[in-house]
Structure 1
């Protein structure tokens, strides 16, 4: 039986790193890498990242689907064979990198670093309002969002969480579902770390921006499809949104003609807030491969009902 990696957008160097770590940690596994898969009928476990649509239909004997990263929306949006479980990667290093990126964005807004970058280009000496008072709201308070709130709280910055469902106990002030406006009234920095589901796709849109306090700053590090991109620049130009830090986009790489590139108030980074470390991910995939083969419980299994 075989395990197949299907990640066509990964470079040859990246795929070789995955091959090498599997060879080092589990040489007994028959590892095959797309598109060079000898016999799809032998593949019982697939590892996916930005895979070709409907490719899972071509593997008749799947027992397990693994995401190569922490996100699973690329899997949930496609055909999934009935009854086949899905797992994701949970890596403390992913959390470390994501939190540091988000905190960097929050502090850059707080201390107006983007404004000073523009002023340097203009040779403009402007000492007005060097600090913006901030209160931070994190949408999506799973492992990543919870850690962001912990670190922001540790800096002495007021912070609040928001999610789709109520929580009986949470270590920070928390709002859910119909309490959205109450949550937004507390904050002027919005961090999106929501899972991407049919309910959250397009959640960052004109209707939401109109509920913001005027001048609220947006950070999106979840998925590009959370944001209705054509709604953001008008919201900035109206002053409802003061600016944005975006690491994810509906189409990646971001096209050279996209208006985000030329908007000073929007900071663009190339989906690097948190990158999967194959040395951390491979052992989890190998463990779940063995668990699936021996009918043992899986680690980091995803709810196909909730989508995360």
Structure 2
């Protein structure tokens, strides 16, 4: 099989060896007649001149495999007529679990209270995890893994998704019950995709549903939160802190107020990364499925946008 590697040149040196090791029968190339390729392996940012990728010439391709978990920059492309699959990488999921668990524990334990200034502050021990409520918005591959990990640590976890699809061991609320999930969130973790239904989801009205002093941890999508409404909720004391890993504009401009706000922690989109070593077998499996005409893994529903 032949696959076209449609990603920035800087990714070639790490991805090409991993893909060839996972799929020895693969003929992987960065150039050639588009009509001669069976699949496209794609990452946003290609071509590098800012033009949208033109998938139309890849008339033989049976698959466009994204190297990213998010597909909001790919799915709307009008030239994309091939099946599109998003990346679900076990390494990416583990990275997201570690990020969310780490920041949830930091919020829960109040680690930032202990300034190294010689004062002995032992009058306010943290509660146990069973006394802390955490809500996870988005119960897909990443959100489900995060919810499971936090529940295993003893937190009282509520999940929410548009579908409300059940998950063993986690109470999952559905579409109309978003207000209930927010009302239970001493700590809110947001892992929703970027779709028309989720953009600006957390506006002033919904932020007001969170318990007094709640934390927000957002490694999902920067479009989920109305920035000015978040700043107002923090400034009023309604919310205690926000940990933000994703933004409407990336890199986050140096003059953006998030950088200097004392109740916001900015991390530079590092919560989870697709790692070639763990992701290449996922790509290989989908390539083989495409060639054999079998159902693809993690195929995107274009109507829903993920």
- The alignment's TM-score, normalised by the length of structure 1, stands at 0.86
Q: Is the 8 A contact 1:138 1:191 kept in 2?
A: yes
Match for residue 73 of structure 2?
Answer: 74
Alignment of 1:110-149 (within 5 A): 110-116=108-114, 119-120=115-116, 123=117, 125=119, 127=121, 129-131=124-126, 134-149=132-147
Match for residue 18 of structure 2?
Answer: 21
Give, in whole Å, the separation in 1 of the partners of 2:266 and 2:57. 38
**1:58 Cα shift?**
4.8
**1:170 Cα shift?**
4.5
Give, in whole Å, the separation in 2 of the partners of 1:153 and 1:27. 40
State the Cα RMSD in Å. Answer: 2.4
Alignment of 1:251-262 (within 5 A): 251-262=249-260
Runs of 5+ in structure 2 lacking a partner?
none
Which shows bigger deviation, 188-197 or 37-46? 37-46
Match for residue 44 of structure 2?
Answer: 50
Alpha-carbon spacing, 1:96–1:264, altered in 2? closer, same or farther (3 Å): same
Say how many residue pairs are matched. Answer: 297
Give the 3-state SS of the residue equivalent to 1:150 in structure 2.
helix
Give the 3-state SS of the residue equivalent to 2:38 in structure 1.
strand
**1:168 Cα shift?**
5.5
Which shows bigger deviation, 294-303 or 165-174? 165-174
Q: Is the 8 A contact 1:6 1:51 kept in 2?
A: no
**1:200 Cα shift?**
0.8
**1:207 Cα shift?**
2.5
**1:138 Cα shift?**
0.5
Give, in whole Å, the separation in 2 of the partners of 1:279 and 1:183. 36
Query: Residue deviations 1:207-243, cap 9 Å, x none?
Result: 3212222211101111122222232211100122211
Give, in whole Å, the separation in 2 of the partners of 1:85 and 1:266. 39
Query: Residue deviations 1:113-154, cap 9 Å, x none?
Result: 2344xx34xx37372545366310001112222222222222
Match for residue 90 of structure 2?
Answer: 92
Alpha-carbon spacing, 1:154–1:285, altered in 2? closer, same or farther (3 Å): closer
Match for residue 5 of structure 1?
Answer: 5
Alpha-carbon spacing, 1:148–1:29, altered in 2? closer, same or farther (3 Å): closer
**1:164 Cα shift?**
0.7
- The alignment's TM-score, normalised by the length of structure 2, stands at 0.87
**1:68 Cα shift?**
0.3
Give the 3-state SS of the residue equivalent to 1:286 in structure 2.
helix
Give the 3-state SS of the residue equivalent to 2:74 in structure 1.
helix
Match for residue 32 of structure 1?
Answer: 29
Give, in whole Å, the separation in 2 of the partners of 1:167 and 1:20. 38
Runs of 5+ in structure 1 lacking a partner?
none
